[in-house]
Structure 1
Amino acid sequence: MFTGLSAFPLTPMDEQGVDEIAFTRLVQQLVAAKVDSIGALGSTGSYAYLSRAERSRVAQLAVEAAEGVPVMVSIGALRTRDVLLLAEDAQAVGVKALLLPPVSYQKLTQDDVFSMYERVSANVSVPLCVYDNPGTTHFDFTDELHGRIAELPNVRSIKIPGVPDAPHLARERVERLRKLIPSHVTIGISGDALAAIGMNAGCDAWYSVMGGLFPNTALAITRAALSGDAAEAVRLSESLKPLWALFRQFGGSFRVIATAAELRGFTHSPSVPLPLRTIAGEGREQIAAVIDALELS
């Protein structure tokens, strides 16, 4: 479940609701590509903008469309009470794993976060992935906190942010964390531009935004890295430098991938919840040119 390519699709929507047909089509594309797992309702999936009922429905749609491919969904929420309710909903529709970020409005302490994972891990029946995403949650995990949480029941993976771009420093970072967690807990890299470096450094999985829209391109990198062909993984990743540059230019991958989905006809426009907007004008033309030139699939 927590190895290989975990592809995170968008949840296309407008102010009237989720576009269930478009979402199902995105999941079916991932199934056809033979991704290792599907991460619905991650940050790319706009979980924080959806009601409890909408999140339950999207989780159900993902499981139904996945045709047996394991589905993980985010249960992040401001209150632990609501996290537990979302966990119940997700498990009821048949998800195989839960993704939990420490969402907050007030600044969280290390003990706050540990207590949340302690409570949730004791009350779920499917594996739990720890979502370390300081760019979104504004919470910084220490490696020691990861080590404490990884000892809890049902915790099976840690989704870490990007590693250093120098391969030896990336390996040191992964090895430092590996020493603090049990052997049954995997480490997955996010931050698509650094995924090849992270997997070459010892990460077990790639939790991928790009893979949610262009799974074949992401799978080629994943398969090369995890088969030991580090040079090929790096070569394939470096061939995508124009895409990584767009991610930096527009403040992350979300708006770029959502815009690409509209351009390729996977979704209608608008496809993201207000006040968010996809990219217009010259930026949109840039994205169209890059995804066409790279022949992403």
Structure 2
Amino acid sequence: MRFPSGLSAFPITPADDTGRIDTAALRRLVGRLVAADVDSIGLLGSTGIYMYLTRDERRRAIDAALAESSGRVPVIAGIGALRTDEAVALARDAKDIGAAAGLLSAASYTPLTDDEVFEHFSAVAYGSGLPIVIYDNPGTTHFKFTSELVGRLAGVPGIVAIKNPGVGADETAKHLAGQRGTVPKGFSIGCSADWTAAETMIAGADTWYSVLGGLLPGVCLKIVRAAQQGDAAEAHRLDGMLEPLWELFRQYSSLRVVYALADLLGICRTEPPRPILPLAAPAKRQVADTLARLPVDILA
């Protein structure tokens, strides 16, 4: 398959304190992304609390998202699990329901070797038939994909893309070029860490996997389109307007901040799964103050 490029918007997954998903609220979130014409929807990523949900709840989430998108926007579903057989089962579920691809992390309790990760990803790709996106998220998994391992995995049929963590601005072009040198043509290289994404897209990344895009897709799409059209100045200008939000992301984590934003914007009222706590009142006021200072068109 040719993997969707551009903006992949990652919404939160509204759920109660037992882990039961509010599918009506999730459909509203997905509907906003479909209406904004994002390039793909990243369901059940880290912001989508995939590791806190049962297999049945993940199925319900994918069902709801696919019902709302009605085939208009591809859905990439998180399929990460500690056990390989569980990840295969989750990938098969996602494929059966109609997801375009699966987002697979190297989740573990015991630290994994490169060979173990290679076998894990290969087994999921071969065992499910679902196109796989490598999810490199060392902040949560404590495993970092080397360029050599990415190159090995990119040679496995069905492994089609990577979602990279953010790197420093000075390293962006070098990192991107180095990774391109290890993967076949057509393999999609993407970025996360919203505060570094504009620079990475300007440097030539294919996809921005965006947390903020799950709530405010309009401005994130403008950044992506400016980068795709070679207008670095406009991409930098828009990114600069979002710097107050990026500072909050760095200070409190993007997950906690977007939960607060969803409430403050009147989009969705829910809390992250325990033991993660919502932002304390002073921090939430800081988010509200930042929101109030942003230009109105950014919030569209």
TM-score (norm 1): 0.96
**Partner residue of 2:128 out of 100, 110, 124:** 124
In 2, the alpha carbon distance for the partners of 1:154 and 1:247 equals 33
**Equivalent residue of 1:187, what SS?**
strand
1:24 and 2:22 correspond:
no
1:67 and 2:76 correspond:
no
**Equivalent residue of 1:13, what SS?**
coil
In 2, the alpha carbon distance for the partners of 1:103 and 1:175 equals 27
In 1, the alpha carbon distance for the partners of 2:264 and 2:21 equals 19
In 1, the alpha carbon distance for the partners of 2:118 and 2:129 equals 19
2:266 matched residue in structure 1: 265
**Partner residue of 1:248 out of 247, 250, 261:** 250
**Partner residue of 1:133 out of 101, 126, 137:** 137
The CA deviation string for residues 133-171 of structure 1, in whole angstroms up to 9 with x for no partner, is 1001110111100000011001111100002213xx311
Count residues in correspondence.
293
TM-score (norm 2): 0.95
Note the C-alpha offset of 1:178: 0.3
**Partner residue of 1:97 out of 92, 101, 105:** 101
Letter in 1 for 2:166: G
2:159 matched residue in structure 1: 155
2:218 matched residue in structure 1: 216
In 2, the alpha carbon distance for the partners of 1:109 and 1:284 equals 40
**Equivalent residue of 1:158, what SS?**
strand
1:286 matched residue in structure 2: 286
2:54 matched residue in structure 1: 51
**Equivalent residue of 1:18, what SS?**
coil
The CA deviation string for residues 195-250 of structure 1, in whole angstroms up to 9 with x for no partner, is 11001111001000000011001111111011111111111111111001101111
RMSD across aligned positions (CA): 1.1
Note the C-alpha offset of 1:22: 1.0
Note the C-alpha offset of 1:67: 2.5
In 1, the alpha carbon distance for the partners of 2:79 and 2:130 equals 12
In structure 2, the gaps of 5 or more residues are: none
The CA deviation string for residues 84-141 of structure 1, in whole angstroms up to 9 with x for no partner, is 1101111111111111001001111111100111111112323210000100111011
2:110 matched residue in structure 1: 106
- Report which stretch shifted further, 25-34 or 85-94: 85-94
**Partner residue of 1:38 out of 23, 36, 41:** 41
- Report which stretch shifted further, 25-34 or 112-121: 112-121
In structure 1, the gaps of 5 or more residues are: none
In 2, the alpha carbon distance for the partners of 1:120 and 1:98 equals 10
Contact map agreement 2:8 2:213 (CA 8 A) in 1: yes
Contact map agreement 1:2 1:157 (CA 8 A) in 2: no
**Equivalent residue of 2:106, what SS?**
coil
Note the C-alpha offset of 1:15: 1.3
Contact map agreement 1:196 1:222 (CA 8 A) in 2: yes
Letter in 2 for 1:6: S
- Report which stretch shifted further, 188-197 or 115-124: 115-124
In 1, the alpha carbon distance for the partners of 2:41 and 2:135 equals 15
After TM superposition, which residue ranges in structure 1, 4 or more long, deviate above 6 angstroms?
none
Contact map agreement 2:76 2:101 (CA 8 A) in 1: yes
Contact map agreement 1:2 1:188 (CA 8 A) in 2: no
Letter in 2 for 1:164: G
Letter in 1 for 2:193: G
Q: Name the % identity.
A: 47
In 1, the alpha carbon distance for the partners of 2:258 and 2:155 equals 35
- Report which stretch shifted further, 227-236 or 41-50: 227-236
Contact map agreement 1:31 1:67 (CA 8 A) in 2: no
